[in-house]
Amino acid sequence: MKKKIIAFFKNNSGRQFKSKDIAQRLNIETEHEYNALKAVLHKLVEEQFIVKAGKRYRLSRPHSSNVLTGVLQIVNGGYGFVVLNNSEIKDVFIASRNIGVAFNGDTVEVALFAKQKGKNIEGQIVKVLKRKRDEYVGTLRKSKSFYYIEPDDRGIHRDIYIDKEDLNNATEGDKIIVGHLFWENPMRNPEAKVIEVLGKAGSQDAEIVSIAREFNLNYKFSPKVLEEAEAIELNIAPAEVKKRKDFRKKIVFTIDPEDAKDFDDALSIEEMENGNYSVGVHIADVGYYVKSGSQIDKQAAKRGNSVYLVGKVIPMLPEKLSNNICSLVPGEDRMTYSVLIELTKRGKQVGYQIVKTIINSKRRFTYDEVQKIIDEGEGDYSVEVLQLNKLAETLRKKRIREGSIEFSTAEVKFELDENGKPVRVFKKEIKQSNMLVEEFMLMANKITAKHIGAPASGPVKPFIYRVHDLPDNEKINEFAKFVKSLGYSFDPNTGSKYNQFQTLMTSVKGTEEESLINELAIRSMAKAIYSINNIGHYGLGFKYYTHFTSPIRRYSDLLVHRLLHKYIDSVNTSNYSLDELDTISDHISDCERNAVEAERLSVKLKQIEYLQYHVGEEFPAIISGLTHFGIFVKITDILAEGLIRLRDLEGDFYVYDEKKYALIGKRTKKQFRLGDHVDVKLIRADLEKSELDFIIIE
């Protein structure tokens, strides 16, 4: 009845009707139906969907002067908010009935209601200005006589219908891409045409491509880009070698994960005559091959970064460059851009050079191989490895002492079979070998940023920094309350919050709640971004920081290389104005966020795929979230997150208490609190809906 009446008013906007007129037009004849109609009309007046004037009803018209523009964000409940372009006005609440023909992420016009009630500004979407995407990825389904696509994007709240003539040879269960969307009436479902069949849902290739398409990731290079890459020669001209500091006879090596294919950083160390150490951080000189304005450069700029999905990399650069010409493979001459740092034995920096170099890597180490040398004290180039590790430990202690916060973000790794199916899931262990490499990369990034941001002479030149703002006070206070509820101390009002963070991170290390507290601490802080305005990096405690060390996989680093080369060597290369750098900073920050979301979804899907074969098994878990409809739990060993629905909590009726971060039983007063440890049983693993359901095991 309600749907019929809503459709009636939308199709007759601008006109007024008595209830009897509406009943007649909707063919309502019985007294029971008529009473139901009047009850619905009364409800719609309360909801401000229609207005009653005397005995007549009409569609509520938002004031045309209150039409604003923004981006729609739909949440799980089906309602949404429009984040307005005018940041001075709060987000506008959109009830599900007022979303119209908009999807999550669409740019829309929203009209505000004349009368406002409640704490949120409320309105309705009157026009879709721009779709978030032109194509949609999902699984083809059939229901009786029609076909539809179940979209992968959970923000798309409607199934998209497909005519038989528009299937493009797709069959039920295929992962497909649809386009040519047509949707004008919110009372009907959107329609589209199949433009590409990716393969059967659940297959490795289909899932990788579907994630790429969902997040608008370019997973194929254009013929022009590949042609340009193919034309690049590996031969290094003798004239170019003469311009560079030659490290080919020195001991230089790379340290990377076992499955790495692109090596963009290498290390060297040698004792100087004065007793100090010269540490070389050698980075692939991608800028030598990828020229500004080239087809490869334009594509790299558009991608912003490489994306590391489980079992597949979507690279920023074509494979010939990323895995060969630019990669610092062992036994081959490679051009690099290096930061040569002079350090005392106590780790004090007394000098540095930023210089173009040429190296020949003597060894490709994995982290595990270096860790074995650290543990046993012997192996290839053990003198150099052990000295680097000793310095790295000293530098790390100094960095933490000076305000750097050591967050421990737990990650999982997958062992895949030949078909890309996960056969093992385990936590990634961060070892000393990982921290060794990280410490010198941090130092090189810091030095290059300070070289431009605080020059010895002359003005500060346009540059791109990696910045991290101060944490939001409201979020920090909320985090402090939660930490206190778990029995830990955190004073949000102290002047040096980083000391509070570091003390807390140290105290939770090794505990089961370590992962949750680290995750919530990171959420309470601002996000690190790229910017032309240097405000420092709060999390690292650095006044100057940039990204210099990964130009194969990050466009920011390639750009930083170009700027440094121009400023240090006074080369006649393209100028980047502040406005251009500002635009690029915003773009690559967006690309990074998008890549992180895609990578998270890839991990989540692989976790669910693995757990499909473990339904009925029990796991230790920690409560990672609480809502009015249930408990989110995270399995402690493989970090997969799922839901315990409120209806599956037996023995009592539970109510969510926001202040206590708990669900509390009305009768028993039993509590389930955020951070509590629970044993759970997996009862459902739905890969298509990306959902895991658990029950509590008492």
Q: Answer yes or no: is pLDDT of 160 > 60.
A: yes
pTM of model > 0.75: yes
- Per-chain mean pLDDT for the chain: 89
Architecture in CATH for domain 2-59 = Orthogonal Bundle (1.10)
Classify residue 639 by burial, with Cβ atoms within 10 Å: 0-12, 13-18, 19+.
buried
Q: What is the pLDDT of residues 165-196, one digit of tens each?
A: 999 999 998 989 999 999 888 888 899 999 98
Q: For residue 405, which of 413, 396, 394 has the smallest C-alpha distance?
A: 396
Residue 118 has pLDDT above 80, yes or no: no
The CA-atom distances, in angstroms, between 478 and each of 632, 659, 660 are 19, 10, 11
Which pLDDT tens digit goes with each residue over 580-614?
Answer: 999 999 999 999 999 999 999 999 999 999 999 99
With a pLDDT cut of 70, the percent of the chain lying above it is 96
For residue 628, pLDDT beyond 90: no
- Tell which wins on pLDDT, 31 or 232: 232
Q: Which residue has the tokens 């390639």?
A: 558
What is the pLDDT averaged over residues 255-277?
A: 95
pLDDT of residue 583: 96
- Point out the least confidently predicted range of 103-117, 241-255, 400-414, 554-568: 103-117
Band of pLDDT at residue 485, cut at 50, 70 and 90: confident
Predicted confidence (pLDDT) at residue 203 exceeds the cutoff of 80? no
Task: Tell me the per-residue pLDDT of 487-519, one tens digit each, with 9 for 90 and over.
Answer: 888 887 776 667 788 888 888 887 877 888 888
Q: Is the pLDDT of residue 201 over 80?
A: no
pLDDT of residue 185: 83
Q: Please check the confidence at residue 263 and state whether its pLDDT lies above 60.
A: yes
Burial 579-602 (b: 16+ CB within 10 A, else e): eebbebbeebbebbebbeebbebb
pLDDT at 349 over 90: yes
CATH code matching the domain that covers 64-130, chosen among 3.40.718.10, 3.30.930.10, 2.40.50.690, 3.90.650.10: 2.40.50.690
Residue 614 tokens read as 């473990």
Fold of 136-201: OB fold (Dihydrolipoamide Acetyltransferase, E2P) (2.40.50)
CB of 440 within 8 A of CB of 267?
yes
Name the residue ranges covered by the structural domains of the chain. 2-59, 64-130, 136-201, 615-696
Task: Tell me: pLDDT of 322 over 80.
Answer: yes
Q: For residue 629, name the pLDDT band (cuts at 50, 70, 90).
A: confident
User: What is the per-residue pLDDT across 215-229, written as a single tens digit (0 to 9) for each?
Assistant: 889 889 999 999 999
Is the pLDDT at 663 greater than 80, yes or no?
Answer: yes
Given this model, what pLDDT does residue 61 score?
61
Q: Look at 38 and 492; give whichever has higher pLDDT.
A: 38
Q: What is the pLDDT of residue 301?
A: 97
Q: Which of 13-17, 263-267, 388-392 has the lowest mean pLDDT?
A: 13-17
What would the mean pLDDT of 656-674 be, rounded to a whole number?
Answer: 88
Residue 298 has pLDDT above 70, yes or no: yes
pLDDT band at 62 (very low <50, low <70, confident <90, very high): low
**Poorest-confidence range of 36-40, 51-55, 113-117, 451-455?**
113-117
Sign of CA dihedral 687, 688, 691, 696: negative
On the question of pLDDT at 560 being above 90, the answer is yes
**How many other β-carbons are positioned within 10 Å of the β-carbon of residue 151?**
20
Residue type, 94: I
Write out the two tokens for 543. Answer: 């006044």
Q: Can you give the pLDDT at residue 119?
A: 63
pLDDT confidence of residue 31: 83
Q: Quick one: pLDDT band at residue 433, thresholds 50, 70, 90? A: very high
pLDDT band at 578 (very low <50, low <70, confident <90, very high): very high
pLDDT tens string 66-100:
678 899 988 766 788 998 876 667 788 898 888 88
Q: Which tokens is 488 given?
A: 């830990």
Q: Which long-range contacts (CB under 8 A, 24 or more apart) does 628-635 make?
A: 628/656, 631/663, 631/672, 633/678, 633/680, 633/694, 634/515, 634/516, 635/680
- Specify the CATH class of 615-696 in words: mainly beta
Domain 2-59 shares a fold with domain 136-201: no
pLDDT at position 599, please?
Answer: 95
pLDDT value of position 28: 86
